[in-house]
């Protein structure tokens, strides 16, 4: 999920277009698949340039992120209808966030095995297939327990696609721009989701489950596109060849990558940044409509569209801010954005005016926009390339912990103290986000 979920694995061999050079330096043997690489596989040196196969993979990644954004962005607008449709309280929403987090945890545990056994293409295809299954379960308004399980499947599928896509895009020339593009695609999905969800949900009593036929159709396209674009990266194997020419079990390979990842301090520091970043983004997006309806007494038919201001700002931020953020220094610019976001959140909280609140939430989305892609860009500089895939898997699961924990806590607290507690909680999470970014080590940046 990313808010957003985004909001952010790859193959463990060169035939999949990811540079795994000098693995012996980190105690991991250099790996290559036992099978002969397909003739149309993209070599490491080619993956840095924008060729037609690379462009199609980038297009597939963008569409996958749009699909994920549409799914995640619609949830906040549908919360009031879900509560009424299943006759449950706000505390029950914590269950949905909990099973979503469980999906990311499972993906972190098995993601490395899926990647090594099936290749990055296989992991991407599996991710698209699992998400499609989840939408099939939702569209007919299943029992609440099964509805919750669909969020587990969505998270599992998104985790496979997000981590593999981010790792691939990080190898392309001008990665900071392309990372900005794929995460802007996610935000475009976030922008579209509330419009479609609100339009369908308000068209008649009990019609909100029909919304899921929209992401269901997109899921079919996503599955076809990713299968075609990454067809050369699908490889089923039980073992790989080590540097000495001997066969190495795939499970041993995964364990070595995981061990090296867990020992990297920078991985944990970046994980904490994403923990608070996604916590803030998902809490704002998930509870904004309920806050406006309950505290500000805004009509539900109007409030359902307000999250589009936040998501629209995020789209523009991810499209327009990556370049100046990169040029003026990624470290200092994200610290500045965090301070400004805190100020805007105070304005939103204290000024009870729909127009000023909408502008404040849109500007906050704009300034939060480049955070995800910038974090991925910094990760590509600080984390050894040979463990990028497993490192991103760990970062994403910690990030999704924030995306699940903070909105869930908000729901539980709101059930007792009211939804008005959303604002002070958001300010606290934003401050923690800025502090955690300040702890990330300095990196090789000409502007630092």
Instruction: Give domain limits for the chain.
Output: 2-439
What is the 8-class DSSP label of residue 387? Answer: G
Pick the closest to residue 392 from 294, 302, 257 (CA basis).
Answer: 257
Exposure string over 110-125, b if 16+ CB within 10 A, otherwise e: bbbebbbbbbbbbbbb
User: For residue range 392-408, what is the model confidence (pLDDT) as tens digits?
Assistant: 878 887 887 888 788 87
Tokens of 127: 């991710």
Distance CA 362, CA 356 (A): 10
- For 178-256, list the strands marked E by DSSP: 239-241, 247-249
Distance CA 144, CA 87 (A): 10
Helix %, strand %, coil % of the chain (to 5):
75, 0, 20
Pick the closest to residue 294 from 196, 422, 408, 430 (CA basis).
Answer: 422
The more confidently predicted of residues 167 and 427 is 427
pLDDT of 276 over the 60 cut = yes
Measured CA to CA in angstroms, residue 189 lies from 2, 74, 129 at distances of 11, 9, 19
Q: How many residues does the chain have?
A: 448
Distance CA 303, CA 152 (A): 27
Q: What percent of the chain has pLDDT over 90?
A: 32
Distance CA 157, CA 189 (A): 16
User: For residue range 263-274, what is the model confidence (pLDDT) as tens digits?
Assistant: 889 999 999 999
Residue 344: how many CA atoms within 13 Å on its side-chain side? Answer: 23
What is the predicted pLDDT for the residue at 350? 87
What is the 8-class DSSP label of residue 241? Answer: E
- 119: region left, alpha or beta (phi > 0 left; psi from -120 to 50 alpha): left
Measured CA to CA in angstroms, residue 297 lies from 8, 62, 294, 353, 426 at distances of 36, 37, 6, 11, 20
User: For residue range 355-394, what is the model confidence (pLDDT) as tens digits?
Assistant: 888 899 899 999 998 998 888 888 888 888 778 777 887 8
Residue 71's pLDDT band (cuts 50, 70, 90): very high
The listed CATH number (3.40.920.10, 1.20.1730.10, 3.90.660.20, 1.20.1250.20) that belongs to domain 2-439: 1.20.1250.20
pLDDT of 262 over the 70 cut = yes
pTM, two decimal places: 0.73
Pick the closest to residue 330 from 365, 397, 381 (CA basis).
Answer: 381
Tokens of 35: 């099978």
Distance CA 360, CA 222 (A): 34
In this structure, the strands spanning 32-33 and 239-241 are antiparallel
């Amino acid at each position: 999920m990313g808010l957003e979920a985004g909001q952010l694995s790859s193959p463990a061999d060169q035939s999949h277009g990811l540079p795994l050079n000098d693995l012996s330096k980190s105690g991991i043997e250099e790996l290559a698949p036992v099978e002969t690489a397909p003739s149309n596989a993209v070599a490491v040196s080619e993956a840095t340039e924008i060729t037609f196969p690379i462009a199609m993979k980038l297009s597939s990644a963008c569409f996958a992120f749009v699909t994920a954004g549409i799914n995640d962005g619609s949830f906040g607008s549908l919360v009031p209808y879900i509560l009424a449709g299943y006759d449950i309280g706000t505390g029950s929403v914590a269950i949905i966030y909990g099973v979503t987090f469980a999906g990311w945890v499972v993906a972190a545990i098995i993601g490395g095995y899926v990647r090594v056994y099936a290749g990055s293409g296989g992991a991407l295809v599996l991710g698209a297939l699992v998400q499609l299954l989840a939408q099939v379960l939702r569209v007919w308004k299943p029992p609440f327990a099964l509805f919750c399980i669909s969020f587990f499947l969505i998270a599992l599928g998104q985790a496979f696609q997000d981590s593999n896509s981010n790792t691939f895009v990080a190898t392309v020339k001008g990665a900071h721009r392309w990372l900005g593009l794929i995460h802007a695609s996610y935000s475009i999905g976030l922008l579209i989701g509330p419009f479609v969800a609100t339009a369908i949900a308000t068209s008649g009593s009990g019609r909100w489950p029909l919304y899921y036929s929209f992401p269901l159709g997109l899921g079919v396209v996503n599955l076809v596109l990713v299968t075609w674009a990454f067809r050369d990266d699908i490889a089923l194997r039980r073992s790989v060849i080590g540097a000495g020419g001997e066969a190495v079990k795939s499970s041993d390979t995964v364990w070595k990558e995981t061990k090296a990842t867990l020992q990297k301090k920078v991985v944990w520091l970046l994980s904490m940044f994403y923990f608070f970043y996604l916590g803030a983004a998902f809490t704002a997006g998930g509870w904004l409509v309920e806050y406006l309806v309950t505290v500000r007494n805004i009509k539900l038919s109007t409030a359902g569209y307000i999250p589009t201001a936040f998501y629209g700002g995020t789209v523009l931020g991810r499209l327009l801010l990556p370049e100046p953020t990169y040029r003026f220094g990624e470290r200092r610019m994200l610290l500045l954005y965090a301070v400004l976001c805190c100020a805007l959140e105070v304005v939103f909280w204290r000024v009870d005016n729909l127009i000023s609140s909408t502008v404040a939430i849109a500007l906050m989305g704009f300034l939060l926009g480049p955070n995800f892609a910038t974090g991925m860009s910094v990760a590509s500089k600080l984390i050894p390339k040979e463990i990028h895939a497993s490192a991103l898997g760990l970062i994403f699961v910690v990030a999704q912990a924030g995306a699940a924990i903070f909105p869930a806590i908000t729901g539980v607290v709101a059930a007792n103290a009211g939804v008005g507690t959303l604002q002070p909680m958001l300010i606290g999470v934003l401050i923690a986000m800025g502090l955690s970014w300040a702890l990330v080590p300095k990196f090789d940046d000409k502007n630092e």
